[in-house]
Amino acid sequence: MIHHLNTLSVSPKLQESLQDSGNDFPFAALESNLAEYANNATSWHWHDFVEFAWVTEGALESSTPMRTLRLSPGDGYFINANVLHTQRMLGPAATIRVIQFVPRLLAGSGSIYRKYIGPVATCPGLEMLPLAGIGVSEALHQVFALAEAEPEGYELDIMAWLSRIWTALYRAAKPAFTDAAPPSDGHAERVKAMLGHIHAHFAEPLTVADIAAAANVSQREAFRSFRQVLGTTPTLYLLHHRVNNAARLLVETRLSVTEISTACGFSGPSYMWKAFRDINGVSPRAFRQGER
């Protein structure tokens, strides 16, 4: 089964779950058009499984705390487990196909995991890797086709293709295993905690002190961590998140601008109107009417 998504379902800690998968076969295949997402982008999120994705239409930008990739049709990327990341549409369209699975799916024995799976899935310097030159494009297409058709024995065939993909990934990523690991300064984990608090409480009055307290750090350290990981500030991230949620409610509901401003934590409709126009370039009313 292929899942068609136009929004992310994440926990209060911003952790994405694997779509409708059981422990017996922790695998999912997705297709997403970022033009259907609020503000044409996913929010920052992470997951405890790995992800392979490739662009089928348009262009997008995929970002982690350590790097950003700009991708066109045919380009792909690998996102490792437990890595904060986001995708943003570039231009009028961006459709991606995604394969997600828990690495242990390929570990037939403890030695296989220790030798080939774990070194990739736990490599601190391997957040995201472009797939160009790795030679996995055909295998990914085969996996997606099997997930869509689900013929008898498709799980076995998918595992065979995933093993080929992982072998190629392991060889491409191997130089990173011996590279000096980036310093573990805790910024990413702090930001995860603070983002989780923002997403859970954005409709309430929030101060930088409240956000910093979610990670047990000072306000100064909160600003430092946000700049280091996301290239922004807690205040600006909160404002953008409120505007993103306002955009979603404008499209998905008939709530008035006043009602939406209250639901999204703005101090009033005039403040929401100004913030929305500054960020999106159009007024809330024009956005609701399709001017984006």
* pLDDT tens per residue across span 51-99: 999 999 999 999 998 889 999 999 999 999 999 999 999 989 899 999 9
Instruction: Tell me 116's DSSP state.
Output: I
Q: Is 211 in contact with 222 (CB distance < 8 Å)?
A: yes
Sign for the pseudo-dihedral over CA of 233, 239, 243, 245: positive
Fold match, 2-178 / 187-288? no
- Identity of the residue numbered 227: R
**Span 187-288: which CATH code?**
1.10.10.60
Instruction: Provide the b/e sequence for 175-197 (b: ≥16 CB within 10 Å).
Output: ebeeeeeeeeeebbebbbbbbbb
pLDDT at 21: 61
**Span 2-178: which CATH code?**
2.60.120.280
pLDDT at 252: 87
Q: What are the tens digits of pLDDT across the range 120-146?
A: 998 888 999 999 999 999 999 999 999
The pTM is what?
0.82
Percent of the chain with pLDDT over 90: 66
- Joined tokens for residue 238: 């909160």
Q: Is 69 in contact with 42 (CB distance < 8 Å)?
A: no
Domain segments of the chain: what residues?
Answer: 2-178, 187-288
Those residues whose C-beta lies under 8 Å from the C-beta of residue 213, and which sit 6 or more positions away, are none
CA 229 to chain centre: 14
Three-state DSSP class for 128?
Answer: strand
Tell how strand 27-33 and strand 2-5 pair up: parallel
- Joined tokens for residue 81: 């487990």
pLDDT at 40: 86
pLDDT at 182: 53
Q: What are the tens digits of pLDDT across the range 231-279?
A: 899 999 999 999 989 988 998 899 999 999 999 999 999 999 999 999 8
pLDDT at 291: 67
How far, CA to CA in Å, does 215 sit from each of 111, 220, 230, 242?
37, 12, 16, 21
